[in-house]
């Protein structure tokens, strides 16, 4: 595919040292951006930036969790803010949010990792507080619908820590 004048570099290809660029496509729910390398080779998809700040963020910001590329997600509902989501979602939950003025917020602190999950060995994440006010270690592969790891949360004794 010939690269049109002014086409944006694909952020995922850039991170992974390929030559992809972004092409605007029309889908059932409106326009979106897709990588010229295609779904198999790259698979980058994004909403179309509405302004220069969003475009710059999509091209330059790295995932706060895995350092990978991020895609722009525009809010589907009024009153919600746009955000950047890691291209590895749902395996990676890294995200960066825009504030009401459309500026990118500081990254939210990464969750504290704990001992490996007793069931699957994935490092657990600190969650909480629960209604009791206590924090607990929870497996990141746990899913509320029961499709993930079924390990039980491990309560953290704050007095001991």
Among residues 23, 95, 149, 154, which is the contact residue for Zn ion, using CB under 5 A? 149
Q: Is 92 in the site for Zn ion (CB under 5 A)?
A: yes
DSSP string, 61-90: PPPTTT---EEEE--SSTTPPPEEEETTTT
Please identify, among the stretches 20-28, 74-82, 96-104, 127-135, the one whose residues bind Zn ion according to the rule CB under 5 A: 20-28
According to the binding rule CB under 5 A, does residue 81 interact with Zn ion?
A: no
Rounded CA gap, 87 and 106, in Å? 19
Residue 135, classed as helix, strand or coil, is coil
Would you call 72 helix, strand, or coil by DSSP? strand
Going by the DSSP 8-state scheme, the letter that residue 9 receives in this structure is: B
Q: How many CA atoms lie within 13 A of 58 on its CB side?
A: 25
User: CB neighbours (10 Å) of residue 93?
Assistant: 16
Query: By CB under 5 A, which span of 23-31, 74-82, 108-116, 145-153 interacts with Zn ion?
Result: 145-153
* Interactions with Zn ion, residue window 107-136 (CB under 5 A): 117, 119-120
**12 is an interface residue for Zn ion by CB under 5 A:** yes
Question: Which residues lie closer than 8 Å to 87 by C-beta, 6 or more apart?
Answer: 11, 12, 43, 44, 63, 68, 69, 70, 71
Instruction: Tell which one of 34, 57, 69, 139 touches Zn ion (CB under 5 A).
Output: 139
84 binds Zn ion (CB under 5 A): no
Select from 8, 68, 102, 154 the one that contacts Zn ion (CB under 5 A). 68
Could you say which of 32, 44, 83, 135 contacts Zn ion (CB under 5 A)? 44
Please give the residue ranges that form the binding site for Zn ion (CB under 5 A).
10, 12-13, 20, 35, 37, 42, 44, 63, 65-66, 68, 86, 88, 92, 94, 117, 119-120, 139, 141, 149, 151
């Amino acid at each position: 595919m010939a690269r049109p004048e002014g086409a944006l570099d694909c952020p995922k290809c850039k991170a992974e040292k390929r030559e992809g660029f972004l092409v605007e496509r029309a889908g059932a729910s409106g326009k979106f951006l897709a990588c010229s390398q295609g779904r198999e080779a790259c698979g980058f998809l994004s909403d179309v930036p509405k302004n220069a700040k969003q475009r710059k963020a999509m091209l330059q910001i790295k995932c706060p969790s895995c350092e990978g590329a991020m895609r722009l997600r525009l809010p589907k509902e009024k009153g919600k803010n746009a955000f950047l989501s890691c291209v590895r979602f749902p395996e990676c939950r890294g995200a960066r949010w825009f504030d009401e003025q459309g500026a990118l917020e500081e990254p939210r602190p990464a969750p504290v990792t704990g001992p490996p999950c007793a069931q699957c060995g994935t490092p657990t994440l600190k969650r909480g507080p629960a209604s009791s006010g206590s924090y607990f270690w929870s497996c990141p592969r746990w899913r509320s619908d029961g499709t993930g790891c079924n390990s039980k949360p491990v309560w953290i004794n704050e007095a001991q820590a």
